[in-house]
Structure 1
Amino acid sequence: MANQIYQYSLLSALMHGVCHEGPAVQQVLSHGDHGLGTIRGLDGEILILDGRAYHFPPDPRQSPKILSPTSILPYVMITTFQPTHHKRLSSVSMSSLPTALCPLLPNQKNSFISLRLDGLFQTIRVRVIPAQSRPRESLKALAARQVISEYRDVRGVVFGFWSPQYASGFSVAGFHLHFMSEDGTSGGHVVGFEAGGEEVKLAAAVIRDYQVEVPGGSEFHEIAIGNVAEEELHAA
């Protein structure tokens, strides 16, 4: 069904380095066609666009690739994206995105929102998390080694979700966005952006159906997964 979220695992579990079991890509895609997540071992970033799962490796010298159907995703959020809210913008940035989404924000701030931006990004900064170097290495530790890249005057797509404050720990409260360039050569987790210079297309949908599946294996249950500080979630 359109405009529902299926999520596997919890962001707070990733913060504790729980990232080895999960559904295969082919199973994930049965739940939708647009989403984001990570791969086993936290080795890079995942963006799902139009029914294809793209992997952005931490080494910028390596090209992004389409994941095989059997690749394991230990954390993913996915939806069948059918936007009900459309705008054409002359410009938009990370800081102005809440205003661009008006009236969905603030009127629907306690719902989830899926959103997609298509256009020319004058600047966009993305980061890619490196692979774990040891079992259970935390996402906070990996973030200290993350690769941050900045691209200028690049056409591409940003897709992601707005999650309400009460969902912190399950997901990132606020915006969680991933990017892919139009030519498929670059992408990652969005840190900031400015888009404009030509028309930017914004599409969005309110989501009130949120399904979470937690892992059933021993890795998930070997440690106590509790609250994580909000600033750590946003920094990771």
Structure 2
Amino acid sequence: MNYNLSHNMRDNSDIAPNKSDSCQCNQEIITNLNNYINNHPECTIYQNSLMSSLIAGVYDSDVTIADLLKQGDFGLGTFNQLDGELVAFDNNVFQLRSDGSARKALDSQKSPFAVMTFFNSDIEHSFSYGTSQQEIHNTINQYVPSDNLFCAIKIEGEFELVKARTVPRQEPPYLPMLEAIKNQPIFTFHNETGIIAGFRSPQFTQGINVAGFHEHYINQQRQGGGHVLDYYLKKGTLQISIISRLTIGLPSQSAFLQANLMPDDLHHAIEQAEN
């Protein structure tokens, strides 16, 4: 089923809903969202471990890529030893490495943190003009005005630029994440066609997940990408999947069980790590 807001917005291509439109149809959006959620129990996020665990330096897990693909066909995360960024879509998983390259992940590779879902496009919006990352985020927030729901986000199109970074592989004994990312390389991809996969997570999930927007990019050639810092879309399509259920699998390894998952500066640490 495709939950489409075009009947509320008259035309969901090229124009985002404005403030007055959003106010007028807010109750109808809420009613439609509730009906959709109640009738689609498959719309669930599966999360392996916690973001605060990565912040604490827990970079290893027994969860394989094959295990993750049983929980979803779309998502993001990282690999054991913090060896690059993970991006998944259309049931394919790629490893985005610290030299800016990308490669298909092996089913046997393992991940200490990942967020997966079975992507179902509920809302689509086309952009035929240049659009910034912030403008796209604003569009998503207007379509799904409640911050208390998750959104899985897929953007396919032509990008004028994508600014991305990737944390280099770590060796034990592991440093906490803020120390590990001090020398992370940053790449800018220019005039490419590609995909951005990501999530918008509620503010109350900070530490469990990454509150707000978290996005990864890979180009059409599947040769490069990374954790997204900024982008400018020339033209393309935004798809949003609305999700109201979260399942978390917690590790049993001693490193996780002994980690301090609620440091005083957790919110600041996550903002530094992700931006």
TM-score (norm 2): 0.80
For 2:190 and 2:45, the matched residues in 1 are separated by: 32
The letter for the 1-side match of 2:137 is P
- Is structure 2 residue 221 aligned with structure 1 residue 221? no
Tell me by how many angstroms 1:31 deviates: 0.7
Amino acid of the structure 2 residue aligned with 1:233: I
1:59 maps to which residue? 99
Residues 123 and 49 of structure 1, relative CA distance in 2, 3 Å threshold: same
Please report the RMSD computed on the Cα atoms of aligned residues, expressed in angstroms: 1.4
Cα distance in 1 for partners of 2:141, 2:61 equals: 38
2:29 maps to none
**Residue aligning to 1:7:** 47
Higher relative contact order (CA 8 A, sep 6+): 1
Provide the residue aligned with 1:103 in structure 2: 142
- TM-superposed CA distance for 1:218, in Å, is 1.0
Other-structure match for 2:176: 138
Task: Please name the residue that 1:182 is paired with.
Answer: 220
1:234 aligns with 2:271: yes
Q: Would you tell me which structure has more strand in proportion to its own residues?
A: 1
User: Which letter maps to 1:155?
Assistant: T
Shift of 1:125: 0.2
| Aligned residue in 1 for 2:76 | 36
Query: Are 2:127 and 1:91 equivalent residues in the alignment?
Result: no
Question: Could you list the runs of 4 or more consecutive aligned residues of structure 1 that deviate by over 6 angstroms after TM superposition?
Answer: none
The answer to whether 1:159 aligns with 2:197 is yes
Report the residue type matching 1:223 in the other structure: A
**Counterpart position of 2:111:** 73
Per-residue deviation, 1:58 = 0.8
Instruction: Identify unmatched segments of 5+ residues in structure 2.
Output: 1-40
Distance 1:127 1:221 in 2: 29
Contact 2:53-2:259 within 8 A present in 1 as well: no
2:241 equivalent to 1:205? yes
How many percent of aligned residue pairs carry the same amino acid? 26
- Structure 1 length as normaliser, TM-score? 0.93
After superposition, the C-alpha distances for 1:189-213 in whole angstroms (9 at most, x for unaligned) are: 00000111xx310000111011111
- The answer to whether the 8 Å contact 1:5/1:211 transfers is yes
Aligned residue pairs, count: 231
Which of the pair is proportionally richer in helix?
2
Q: CA deviation at 1:102?
A: 4.4
Task: List gaps (5 residues or longer) in structure 1.
Answer: none
